[in-house]
Amino acid sequence: MVFNFNFIFMFMKNEAENKKLLKSEKKERKMKNESKKLKEETEKTRNKTQENKDRNIIQEGSVKISVDESVFYNPFMEINRDVSSLAVGALGSVEGLGQLNACDGMAASGIRGLRYLIENDNIDSVTFVDGDEQACNLIKKNIEENLLLNLEGSKKTEVVCDDINHHLYRGGKRYNFVELDPFGSPVPFIRAALLNLRGSKIGILSVTATDTAVLCGAHSKACVINYGAKPMHNSICHEVGLRILIADIVRTAAPMHLGITPLFSISKRHYMKVILLVNKSAKKAYESMSNLGFVSMCQGCMNIETYEKPHIPTKCNTCGENLDWAGPLWLGPIFDETILKKMKLLNQEREYRNKKEIESLLKIMIEESKMPAFYYDLHAIADHFSIPTPSFKPIMNELKKKGFLVSRTHFDPTAIKTNAGTKEIREIIDKIDEDRREKKGNKDKNRQKREDDNEKETGSKKEQNKVIN
């Protein structure tokens, strides 16, 4: 499947015009709230990091490390490292992969690679790479302390102070697992990682992106430049962004005859993470490319449609309003159910601080792994149509009763995934609201009747008393 990128720019122009007309104040307010939240979280992270600097010792999972004020460590990424380490453990079930020889590409304190190595049996070695000398010295110190404590030096480690691209291209070492955890966008490092993984028939690429403002469409042009795709800046922007990231990796991998299969994906706070199976096969590369496409969302009825070919209509089929659109993006599955289930079991065995949160996160992910792409944010729908905010359970039950697939989604706590459209969802919301009003009406009527009866009773008692007196 080949995409004409002029097409993107042509639509960008139309889309910019549409946007001017259709941007409502509500959306602006929501976005402002989101960026306020992000600022608050960054501030919290800064404070927490300051606390850690003062304390200097961090315990995460089975690893204890020293942190140094000159080397990056973000305590709010602990759950990212938790689920990543669980995913590494679950990779033991991937046929043909075998034991892992990993590269922790941007290692900083070494916490991530150390956790992978110490918490999982299916990993033989980790090479820690960081371009910063102070980081490399700290990693060496942390390896010494942890391996002495936990493994008596039985697993292999190496620390390389180098630019990650240089190391992966020219370092002379081949890996079957590459971790990329940069500041911001991972795009500049994807090609080198894939070329290195190409040395194995089958390998794993694990990537974190923290340039979510770009992937979520707050800087639409930057997304076109960096990821070769038009994003969306609306209620489904997180899933759109994650799928744009996967699509970019798929397009980089295909000319190297590498096929990409997502095993695990997460979008949380300010980051997106994907763990991908990389197969050396022209056939698989073509299959991966065939999973790229586009998505549209109606500005009027909020209906979502996906397209395998770049033929997006400009008006909605249901209500005739203008459509916003995004892509090219990945339309295939973003989870592997077997991996998720294995991760869930491993989480039950481990004593992570975030154990409970991970349990419910994985439960939702297992449900959503069977669902179509994208979701409907019920709060956004209520806002858009100025209707009361609906509650989840009755809507999900009604959709199920009508034979639709439905689940919650980890992307958004106020959203549902379903194969129903907004028309069906609106009908259910309206019906529930109608029933609620009717019930309330009946209740009011009953109350009124009781009050009238009481009044009548006291009235007749007074009359009786008058007669007696």
Ligand X SMILES: C[S@@+](CC[C@H](N)C(=O)[O-])C[C@H]1O[C@@H](n2cnc3c(N)ncnc32)[C@H](O)[C@@H]1O
Give the residue with the Cβ less far from ligand X, 61 or 293. Answer: 61
106 binds, among Zn ion, ligand X, none (CB under 5 to 8 A by kind): ligand X
Residue nearest to ligand X (CB): 106
182 binds, among ligand X, Zn ion, none (CB under 5 to 8 A by kind): ligand X
Choose, by CB under 6 A, the member of 3, 11, 73, 128 that binds ligand X. Answer: 73
- The torsion angle over the Cα atoms of residues 427, 433, 437 and 439, rounded to 10 degrees, is 90
Closest by alpha carbon to 421, among 331, 335, 316? Answer: 316
215 binds, among Zn ion, ligand X, none (CB under 5 to 8 A by kind): none
Give the residue with the Cβ less far from Zn ion, 317 or 360. Answer: 317
331 binds, among ligand X, Zn ion, none (CB under 5 to 8 A by kind): none
**Taking CB under 6 A as the criterion, which residues in 104-163 touch ligand X?**
106-109, 111-112, 129-132, 135, 163
Distance CA 204, CA 336 (A): 14
Give the residue with the Cβ less far from ligand X, 164 or 415. Answer: 164
Q: How many helices (H) and strands (E) does the chain have?
A: 16, 15
Size of the site for ligand X (CB under 6 A): 20
Taking the complex as a whole, the smallest distance from the CB of residue 68 to ligand X amounts, in Å, to: 11
Give the residue with the Cβ less far from ligand X, 74 or 422. Answer: 74
Contact 175, 148 (CB under 8 A): no
Choose, by CB under 6 A, the member of 23, 28, 37, 183 that binds ligand X. Answer: 183
Distance CA 229, CA 225 (A): 8
Q: Give the single-character DSSP code of 390.
A: P
Distance CA 250, CA 291 (A): 9
Per DSSP, the three-state class of 325 is strand
Sign of CA dihedral 368, 373, 378, 379: positive
135 binds, among ligand X, Zn ion, none (CB under 5 to 8 A by kind): ligand X
Residue 364: CB atoms within 10 Å:
16
Distance CA 244, CA 295 (A): 11
Is 182 a residue that touches ligand X (CB under 6 A)?
yes
276 binds, among Zn ion, ligand X, none (CB under 5 to 8 A by kind): none
Is 77 a residue that touches ligand X (CB under 6 A)?
yes
Taking the complex as a whole, the smallest distance from the CB of residue 120 to ligand X amounts, in Å, to: 16
Omega of the bond prior to 328 within 30 degrees of 0, cis? yes
Give the residue with the Cβ less far from ligand X, 130 or 305. Answer: 130
Name the one range near ligand X by CB under 6 A: 35-43, 178-186, 252-260, 426-434: 178-186
**Taking CB under 5 A as the criterion, which residues in 279-318 touch Zn ion?**
298, 300-301, 303, 316, 318
Give the residue with the Cβ less far from ligand X, 81 or 408. Answer: 81
Per DSSP, the residues of 55-87 read H-EEEETTEEEE--TTS---GGGHHHHHHHHHH
183 binds, among ligand X, Zn ion, none (CB under 5 to 8 A by kind): ligand X
Distance CA 269, CA 40 (A): 11
Closest by alpha carbon to 210, among 267, 130, 280? Answer: 267
Tell me which residues touch Zn ion (CB under 5 A): 298, 300-301, 303, 316, 318-319, 321
Tell me which residues touch ligand X (CB under 6 A): 72-73, 77, 81, 106-109, 111-112, 129-132, 135, 163-164, 181-183
